[in-house]
Structure formats: C-alpha cells, structure tokens
Structure 1
Amino acid sequence: MTSKKTKIIVVAGPTGSGKSALALQLAERIGGEIVNADSMQLYRGMDIGTSKPAPEELERVPHHLFSIVSPDTNFSASDYRREAAAAISDIESRGRTPIVVGGTGLYIKALLHGLVDSPTGDPELRLAFQDLSGDELLERLREVDPETAARLHPNDRVRLVRALEVYSQTGRAISDFRAEHAFADTEYEALKLAPKVERAALYNRIEDRVDRMMEGGLLAEVASLMERGYGVEHKAMRAIGYKELCAHLAGEISLPEAVALIKRDTRRYAKRQLTWFTRDNEIYWLEYPESFATIVKIVIEFLA
C-alpha cells in the first residue's frame, strides 16, 4: 500500500508578478508557511536586490530557506531539493500547509519531480570535446544517442557535450537515464498557482521596482558585499542588479547605465520565466488580488 502524498501549494511566476504577496496572504488565510523557491533569496546579505520579504512580512507567517548561505556558496538544484524537502516535512509535521513560492523554475521542477540520476560532470572529458564544432558534436551524438541528438541543435554545445560526457562515463545514453526518471514517483501532490499579469503591466512593475530598489539602498548593499570580499567571481554576485552595480563601482559604467541595464536584464529574465511557466499546463493563472477569493476556494478544495 502506497503512503499518502504530501499536499503542497506552489506559487510560481515571473519576477514582479506579485507571487510573494499572494503567498503571504494565502498563508495567513489557510494556516500555511512559506518555503522559498528563488535561487537568489537563499543568500545572506543580498536582500534589496533580490526583493526578499520585509521584516514585518517575515513576522506575519513563518518563512523557510531565506538567507541560509553566504554569497560565495555554490548552491545547486540538488541542494535546494534536499533543504526544501526537509522544510516541507517539518511544516507538515506541525499540521501546517507548505506554500512553495518563487520564480526559479528549475528548483520547483527539482522539488516536484526530482533530478535525473546521471553522473556528475567531468572537466577532463569536457576538455576533450572543446575543439569540436557543434556539427561534429551532434554527429558524434547521433552515433550513440540518436534520440537526444534529434532534439538538439548544433549551437546547443552545453547539452551536446553533457550528453556525450554521460555516454563516455557510463556507456549509456542520457535519454535512457531520462526515461527511467520519468517513471519515478513524486513525493508531493502539488497545486500550482501563478498571478496573471499582462506583459506590458509586468514590465512597468519591474521598472518601478528597480527604481524603488535604488532608492532603498541597493547600491550601498552591493558596495558592502564587495567590501566583504564578494565580487563577480562568485556566482551569486553575477545576479541581475548585482553584476551591473559591481561594474559601476569598478568604474566600468556610469550609474544611469547600470540602472538601465538592470531594468533591461530584469525584463528579459521575466520573459524567460514566462516562457518556462506557460509551458506548464498544470498551473492555474489567476488575477491577483482581484481573484483572491477564487484562489482561496481552489486551495481549500485541493487541501480537502
């Protein structure tokens, strides 16, 4: 007899769409606790530029996986899955409802569906492929894994090299690992929600939010991080808002140029997030706050 799956609420969507406000109001209404699924809000000291919940919001309901690692830590999707699963288990054990909120689609996918159990990367093997053209890589892959080769373009070097790397290490096609993974069961039964926002309105929100971040001290936050030894050599500091202001503080670009780049790159990031999440036909896209009563109704029916 299979054990009953843990029910969780997932509030996803692009940056600036209002998902954090929705998750907070929903948590208060249903007795929930929030689990972060934003890859940048994990980092300590990176508060303004990642739009972390304000102290008064943190006091309203319990929040998990915010500010848990330093900016020089490489935190993977596998690390996230482990930490989020532990937080969800703790929340459920106390009779509360886990509400996972964030815009990092890979983290949400890793949590709900796990990660393909294929070998870790091998830098030496990757060097062996670096002099091959995309067409040559694709031709090699066709010989050992025609299924994966049929899905890839010669310009997609990262995935081509990864597929060849897996075959070189194991003698098995990466498509075989994915096929096995597809039959793996998930631990969670998830209701996925996302605030519905027109793209033009979303872009306006993003620009306004960047202005508020600058007024709220983002430049000083980045300067403080750099003074403590965190720079663009660390993955976290290459996040939008941080890399541009690092460049400004290094004298490479003016402040107005940096702000314009932050706005542009955030718009582009939101567009990529929209593309990712709109491919997921399990997501309920609902206007917020206008449809909050409907959202609560859907959630209560799901939990019941």
Structure 2
Amino acid sequence: PARPVLDPPALQSNGVRPPVPRCSSLISRQARALVGSLPAALLLFCWRIHRLSSRCAPSIMCCEMRPGFGFGSARRGIWRSWPALCSQQQQRFSSSLCSAKKLHVAATSLPPQLPKARKKSKVIVISGPTGAGKSRLALEVARRLGGEIISADSVQVYRSLDVGSAKPSASEMSMVPHHLIDIMHACEDYSAGMFFSDARRATQDVLARGSVPVVAGGTGLYLRWFIYGKPNVPQSSSNIISSVWSELAGFRESGRWEEAVELLLKAGDPEARDLDTNNWARLSRRLEIIRSSGSPASAFTLPYSSFQKQQDTKLTDSPSNDATCEAKELEYDFLCFFLACPRVELYRSIDLRCEEMLADTGGLLSEAAWLIDIGLQPNMNSATRAIGYRQTMEYLLHCRQNGGSSSPEEFLEFLTKFQQTSRNFSRRQMTWFRNEKIYQWVDASQPFEAIVQFICDAYNGSDALVLPESLEMKRESCVHTSKDLKTYRSENKVFLGHEECCHVLDWIRRTQGK
C-alpha cells in the first residue's frame, strides 16, 4: 500500500513553523567533512551508510502506523518521536564513522606493500683455471639440461686459432649449440665491453628459445662484467682514438714500454704501473679515457665494487655510510661455479697440455706461424698476447732469423718457458676468483658424475645453493704456496729427450727457413 503523506507540524505560537530535523542532511554534512581524509574505499563505505540512514526514518514511521490508531494520532506520535529517531540514527552513523576511522588508521600504520619481484631467469656460469676441465664439465651440464654454451674465452672468439685456445671440437659443438666462438678475425681486437654486449645478447636469445644458458670460460674480467655489468666509462670518439694511436705509435714500434707508461702517468693515471708489460691495447684505452673525460679510468664507478660493498654490508650486518651505495640487483639468477683442484695436480695437467699442443706440428706451431704470415707480431693485439701464441711466435721468429734452424736445447727451453707461463697464469686466475664471492669452489678431483649431478640439481632446485662438503674446495688451499710447490719441477711425458723433438725441428726447418 502507498505510504501516507505526513503533514508538517502546526505553527508555533509566534507563527513560525518549527524546523523539520532531517537525518540525511546531518549525515551528509559529516560525510562531506571526511571526504578529504578517507581513502576511496572508505568513502564508498560511508556513502552506503548514508543511503541506508536516509531511508531509515520513513520506514520507522510506517511501522509506527499500526491498526487501531488513527492517522492523526499516528502523525502526532511520529513528530513527537522524530528528534529521538534522528538522534538514534546520528549515534549509529557516528559509531560507523569511528569504526571507519579505526580501519583507516590501522591501514595507514601497516608497512607499505612492496611490488612482487619478478622471477629471474637462471644462468649457469662455470669457470676455472686453464687445464681444470671446465669445458668438459660445461658440455655435460648443457647436454643434460638442454642448454647452450656461451664461451667466455678471450681467444676462442678468433677463427683459425683452435688448438692454442683449446676450442671445442666439431663433434662437441654438434652435440650442444655454442656461441661466441669463431666470430672475429685474428687481426681484430676484442674487448671486455664487446664481450659484455655479445654475451648478454646471446643469453637473451638462449632464454627466448627456452634453453638454459651455460657460460663457460676462464677470462675473469669478461665474467665479472657479464655478471655485474660494465662500468660507466665514456666511449672515445674516432678522432681521439686516432690521436692516441698516433701518439703511441713511436713507443710501440721501438718497444719503449716504460716510456709509454711514464706518458700515461703524466697524463693523470695513477695506476699506470699496474698494467701488464707490453699490454699496449690496455694502455691505449687508459689514455683514451683521460683524453675523452679528463679523468682516469679509476675515477668511474665499477658495478662490481658496488655489489661487493653491498655484500660486505650484509655479511657484517653494519649499515653503509656510503650514500652512493644503493641497493642493487643482478639481472639474472646466476649459479656460479669455479672448478679447482690441488695446485700440484693442476700444474701436472697444464704441463702435459702444453706438450700435446706442440706435439702435433699442425696445431699450435702452425697457428702461430700463420699469425706471423698475415703480418702480426707478438703482443700486437688480443690474439697475439694470448699465452701460448705469444711464446710460440717469439720462438718461430727466432728460428726464422736463423734460417729455420733450431737445436733441441732451444726447443726444450721454449717448452719450459711455455709451461711456466701457463702455470703462472693459472695461479693468477685462482687469485682473481678467490675474491669473487658469488662463486662456489668445486673440487675437480672429485668424481665427475657427482659434480655434474650437483650442478643440475642446483639448477632444478628452488632452495638456496649449498655446496656439499664432499665437493667443496677450500680457496686458501689453492692460493697459498705449499712445500710441494716450492720444489715443483716439470716432468715431461711427450718430449722426454732430443729424439722426441726431431719431428718438430724437421718441420721448422722445412717451413720456417724461407
């Protein structure tokens, strides 16, 4: 039935009609007062209370009109009870507002919800000193996980330099896809910055195909930049590169390395003396940076240093006072392993490897002779600075100066020098990676199957990486010099005496006596 229309109350004695209290107006004023302080969700809540309260009074009035009461008496009773009804609705709304305010205060006191971090893709990194067996390990891990290998070797990028760089064979490369191998000519230079761009691009391509990236190599600087990012050193213009090249040409041609270092020191590089001898490419780059920016290379931020400070802060639980040390995250979820073994055992492996590279005259000897034939000299670029190629080129140049003749003593002396330089390089590699906290040091002398299975389980698992004690290699044991190392002597397995050198000397006489 239709609701009755209630007449307003009668006029008062002074002829003024009393104001009709309206619950909805009171509630509206209080709701508008809170608009600026409540979030959108609570405003919607208040609006619903407002709508409910504004409909409440007419419903109560209709309920009061029970049978047995006339319309007039009902009207007079309702108007007499109207202020109480309004007060009742106001109390209800005030209670609701208090609850809403409490909810708002509780919500604002909670810590802010951080956005959910995206799940990073996993990338396996396998490194180790020369001769430790990292290439074999990477090949088996990639085969089992359905992965692809990205080479992190500074020499394997060059075409035709196969034996001296221990490049994977054709059959091995057919088993698992390989990247960053045979991409440069030996006359070209290859830098850590170029590797960073190429390796990151290859990693993205491998992940896009749904495969597992397995980065394998022993070039420490390449891997450091690949994991942490490259420094923000400015690029040099072509004019500056040409100017620096011309400036150093005289020093380079006459072999005046010390004078070139003094030039770099005077230009403003305090770390010039720390450069490896005859590393002209690195010296040129240092001078280019100063000419381009007016500051030495050490003045620019290294991402690796920032991550190391952050890691040290976590380990010591002490806040860093460095304002520039912001929280950083790596691009990928890197699973890094460094394959090591006792140094005496490693040195024996390196010595045998050097002998095998020279035993076949079509190997390192032919590759070094080819570098000379195309006009390159030792220490001229990245390829000719590589250990093995540099020593072999120097030996062959000496043979050419003597009309292609060489004695067994000279060859064995060259072999000893080659082995010694390779062992020293492996020691520098272990010293470098000892400070890389992201790597798990794995004992290469342990069963090969156990090592492969551990790496595969680490990739497939979701828990924190924990290296079992049976596979762990103590870093200090590989770096510190023991009593056995002080008395270490090479024990050749291939070139035992003069007779075993005859076929090599005959090849030198036939090919280098032109």
Q: Give the number of aligned pairs.
A: 289
Tell me if 1:77 matches 2:192: yes
Q: State the TM-score, normalizing by the size of structure 2.
A: 0.50
- The answer for the alignment partner of 1:248 in structure 2 is 395
1:190 matched to 2:334: yes
1:63-97: CA deviation from partner (whole Å, max 9, x where unpaired)? 11111101111111111011111111111111110
The yes-or-no answer on 1:177 pairing with 2:305 is no
Report the CA distance between 1:275 and its aligned residue: 0.3
Aligned counterpart in structure 1 of residue 430 of structure 2, from 245, 249, 274: 274
Residue of structure 2 equivalent to 1:144: none
Counterpart Cα distance in 1 of 2:135 and 2:264: 44
Q: Quick check: 1:237 aligned with 2:384?
A: yes
Which string of whole-angstrom CA distances, capped at 9 and with x for unpartnered residues, describes residues 152-196 of structure 1? 7x954789x959965982679955634798355432211111222
Report the secondary structure of 1:23's partner residue.
Answer: helix
The residue that corresponds to 1:145 in the other structure is none
- Whichever residue aligns with residue 411 of structure 2, its letter is L
Task: Provide the C-alpha distance between the structure 1 equivalents of 2:149 and 2:457, rounded to a whole number of angstroms.
Answer: 17
Partners of 1:211 and 1:272 lie apart in 2 by 21
2:356 to 212, 227, 235: 212
Could you say what secondary structure the match of 1:285 adopts? strand
Query: Does the 8 Å contact 1:163/1:174 carry over to 2?
Result: no
Bigger Cα displacement from structure 2, 237-246 vs 91-100: 237-246
SS at match of 2:335: strand
CA displacement 1:249-297 (0-9 Å, x = unmatched): 2126833222221111101100000101121222112233515335423
Contact 2:190 2:382 in 1 (8 A): no
**Map of 2:144 onto structure 1:** 29
Q: Which residue of the other structure, out of 422, 435, 441, is the alignment partner of 1:285?
A: 441
CA distance in 1 between counterparts of 2:203 and 2:183 reads 16
Alpha-carbon distance change, 171 to 214 in structure 1, aligned in 2, over 3 angstroms? closer
Instruction: Find the aligned partners of 1:61 and 1:132 in 2 and give their Cα distance.
Output: 48
- Compared CA separation, residues 247 and 27, structure 1 to 2 (3 A): same
How high is the TM-score relative to the length of structure 1?
A: 0.81
Is the partner of 1:177 in helix, strand or coil? Answer: coil
SS at match of 2:398: coil
Say if 1:12 and 1:101, in contact at 8 Å, map to a contact too. Answer: yes
Task: Note closer, same or farther for the CA distance 1:237–1:7 as it changes in structure 2 (3 Å cut).
Answer: same
Question: Within 1, Cα distance between the matches of 2:460 and 2:411?
Answer: 48
SS in 2 for 1:110: helix
The match for 2:499 is none
Q: Is 2:459 the partner of 1:302?
A: yes
Contact 2:289 2:295 in 1 (8 A): no
Q: Which stretches in structure 2 are left out of the alignment for 5+ residues?
A: 1-114, 249-259, 276-281, 307-325, 400-405, 462-514
Moved more, 167-176 or 43-52: 167-176
1:4: how far off? 3.5
Q: Do the aligned residues in 2 keep the contact of 1:7 with 1:303 (CA within 8 Å)?
A: no
Structure 1's 110 and 196: CA in aligned 2 closer, same or farther, altered over 3 A? same
* Offset, 1:237: 1.4
Structure 1 gaps, min length 5: 142-148
Q: Greater CA deviation, 102-111 or 212-221?
A: 212-221
Contact 1:36–1:64 under 8 Å retained in 2 = yes
Helix, strand or coil: the match of 1:34? strand
Q: What is the letter of the counterpart of residue 431 of structure 2?
A: T
Aligned residue for 1:146?
none
> For residues 441 and 390 of structure 2, what CA distance do their matches in structure 1 show?
32
Separation (CA, whole Å) in 1 of partners of 2:372 and 2:234: 35
Distance in 1, Cα, partners of 2:184 & 2:289 = 30
For CA contacts below 8 A with separation 6 or more, give which structure has more relative contact order.
1
More displaced 10-residue stretch of structure 1: 117-126 or 292-301: 117-126
Task: State the SS of the aligned residue for 2:459.
Answer: helix
Identity %: 33
